[in-house]
Structure formats: structure tokens, C-alpha cells
Amino acid sequence: MKPPLGYPCPSSKVCLIRRVLYGLKQAPREWFDKFNTIICNLGFTCSPHENALFIRRSERGVVLLLVYVDDIIITGDYIDGISDLKASLHRTFVMKDLGSLGYFLGLEVISTDDGIYLCQAKYASNLLAHARITNSCTESTPLEPNVRFIPMDVTVLDNPTLYRQLVGGLIYLTFTRPDIAYPVYVLSQFLSTPRTTHYATVLRYIKDTLFYGLYFSAHSSLSLQAYSDIDWTGDPTDRRSTTGYCLFLGDALISWHAKKQMFTARSSTKVEYRALADTTTEVVSICWLLKNLGAPQLSATDIFCDNRSSIQIVHNNVFHERTKHIEIDCHFVRQRILIDAIRLITVGTLDQTADIFTKVHHPTCFRTLLSKLKMVSLAPT
């Protein structure tokens, strides 16, 4: 650090930082390097598949530590090891023990004998108050059926800052609300020049489903399965397709995705295969993480797809003119099939759970898909 202008100091001198200051771009890296060194000296190893996860295994049990900046979650099946870890961290850092996990970065955690319930009801309530629609009516779906978002269909909003703040809040809310993943993905495309007021419909739906969240049963199996789907040329502006997938660990939804593809395709098989490659990549990543946590997948992961052409291509060793443009994705998925990491299964369109991440649905169909996500509501009685 060079001395500031006007400070009486010889030009050969520099400043030595004894403590990293907030606001410096190198502060987060210095803090994590410091924490990583301390925690590794206590016998922990950093997960190669999640840099914020630290694991310590012994004959007495396992202790897991997950860190986000300076907020930490500690869990495991070795109670004495957890106590020793907290005592060691207290000797090194100024820390506060908040007891059993109940609230973490806006996520509310409710533990029962049968499992864990995650929601963001308090965060969603604050978001509704910020939007000033707490006294408005509610909606049964996050978007109106057959709604089309055209960038030039209405005038620019008078308060684009509020729109951006609300969409940013909705993006964070999708951490426990997969049912709004697709609407939020659509709304986020208008951040530069907001022209749509459809966000109000999403917020009114959230008001009606304020206590919706994810439930992780203690009795659920640890088998992984995935659903992959696309909405071919669904965007009315550039005719790009939307990729959607979701992963279940037993009965619990643990990962989902809704995003527009980067190109316009003339073939539904092409975009379906791109979606399959993205889904396979997520499956491989989750399998690595589960193995690192001590829950390896002992059989191939089922990926359900409703495009028969894609499944036929992956089992066909001969490429031709119609498939050479997706050959890389074909090889990637095929290699995972050959090593028995994944297994492609045809599923009917009506049974395609990932369909909720690719398009807008009528209320009846939306409720059917919502039930397949295994979301629950713990509204106070």
C-alpha cells in the first residue's frame, strides 16, 4: 500500500496492513485464506467440489462446516467434535454461537423429528412490503396463462429502480421457491429497460403462497434422479429456446434451472440435447459432491426426457449431417451412459416435472406440476 498524497513519509516507505480493511477488493480473498489456514490446521479438508465446504472425518464421526463470508453452519454426527471445533474457533476469532440453526441469510430452517423445512416467508413478506402490495388481491399462478413478454409492447416504467430491486429480491427468493424460477427468469430479461408490470402478478402469487418452501424428509432415500425439458423457440422476440431441469434426491428437490439458450435452433432435437448435456453436467457435479459427503450413488442416475429423438441419437454410434452440430454434446452424454453414470428414460409430456421451468401454465396444470416438486406449506394456524 502506497502512502496517500500529502502524508509526510519518505518515498521508499510503504504501509503495512496489520488487518485487512473492509472495502478493499483483496479483503474477501485474504479473509478466506486466513480462515482456510486455521480450519485446515484443525484437521479439516476443503471439498474439491464446493470450496465453501470443509469436512473432517474420524473414527468417531463426521463434522461438516459450511461458510459464507463470516456466517458459518456446523453440523455432523460427532457432537464432541462439534463442541471442540467451536471452542477452537472462539480462541482464534471473535464469534457468536447462535445455537441450533433457525435462520441463515434470509432462509428459515424448521427442524422436526421427521425432517427439515426450508422457507423464506419473512424475506418474502419484507419484499411485499417494499412493493406496497400487502393489501392487494392474490393470484393462483405467478403469471397469467398465455402471457407474452414483448420488449416494446408498453412504455418504459417510471421507476425502473424499483423494478430492478424487486427482481433482484425475487431472484434470491428462488433459493427455496422453485415454483417462481421461470417467471423470475423472464422478468430478469427486462432489467436494462423495464417495460413490463407483470412482476406485480408474481408478487400477488407469493402473497397467496407466503409459507411455501422445501421439505427434506429424514426417511427419504439418497437416490438421485433428474428431469430435463425444453420449450422450443418459446421466446416471441428472438425465438430462442428455454432449458429447464430439476434434480431430486429421493423425494427432495435439491437443484433446478430455468434459462434461455444462447442460440436460435431450427431443430427441437438440437435444443433438447443441449438441455440434456446441461442436466448431465449438473448430475455429475451433484454426484461428486454426494460422494464427498459420504453418500455415493451406487447405481446410474435416471434422467427423464420427453424427446425420443434425443434418446435415440445418444444410443446411435453413427453421426450424420443432421447431428454433427451437436456431436460434442452427444459424446459427453454418451460417455456418461457408457460408464453407467446416467440412464436416459422416456417420459410422457404430462409427466415431465421440469416443464414448470420452461413455460407458463394454466392454473390446473400449474398446480399439478407444483405438487410434483414436493413443495409444502407450513402456514401458521
Question: pLDDT tens-digit profile of 140-199?
Answer: 899 888 777 776 666 778 888 888 999 999 999 999 999 999 999 989 888 888 877 778
Q: What is the pLDDT at residue 31?
A: 86
Cα–Cα dist 337/343, whole Å? 6
Residue 220 has pLDDT above 90, yes or no: no
Q: What is the pLDDT at residue 27?
A: 81
Are the beta carbons of 106 and 120 closer than 8 angstroms?
A: yes
Which residues, 6+ apart, have CB-to-CB distance to 135 below 8 Å? none
Question: pLDDT tens-digit profile of 296-314?
Answer: 999 999 999 988 877 887 7
Domains of the chain: 27-99 (no CATH), 118-208 (no CATH), 220-347 (3.30.420.10)
Model pTM score: 0.86
Are the beta carbons of 50 and 64 closer than 8 angstroms?
A: no
Q: How confident is the model at residue 69 (pLDDT cuts 50, 70, 90)?
A: confident
pLDDT more than 90, % of the chain = 48
Q: What is the pLDDT at residue 7?
A: 78
Across all residues in the chain, what is the average pLDDT?
86
Residue 283's Cβ-side half-sphere holds a number of Cα atoms within 13 Å equal to 32
69: left (phi over 0), alpha (psi -120 to 50) or beta: left
Burial (CB < 10 A; 0-12, 13-18, 19+), residue 84, is middle
- What single-letter DSSP state applies at residue 219? T
Neighbours of 7 (CB within 10 A): 9
Question: pLDDT tens-digit profile of 344-356?
Answer: 999 988 889 999 9
| Range of weakest confidence among 35-49, 191-205, 288-302 | 191-205
| Pairing relationship of beta strands 212-217 and 115-119 according to DSSP bridges | antiparallel
- What single-letter DSSP state applies at residue 156? P
| Range of weakest confidence among 24-33, 94-103, 158-167 | 24-33
Q: What angle do CA 276, 279, 280 make, to 5 degrees?
A: 85
Q: Which residue has the higher pLDDT, 136 or 32?
A: 32
Mapped onto helix, strand or coil, the DSSP state of residue 317 is: coil
Q: What is the pLDDT at residue 20?
A: 66
Q: What is the pLDDT at residue 244?
A: 93
Residue 321 has pLDDT above 60, yes or no: no
Q: What is the pLDDT at residue 319?
A: 56
- Grid cell 423470475 is found at 184
Which residues, 6+ apart, have CB-to-CB distance to 149 below 8 Å? 186, 189, 190, 196, 198, 236, 237
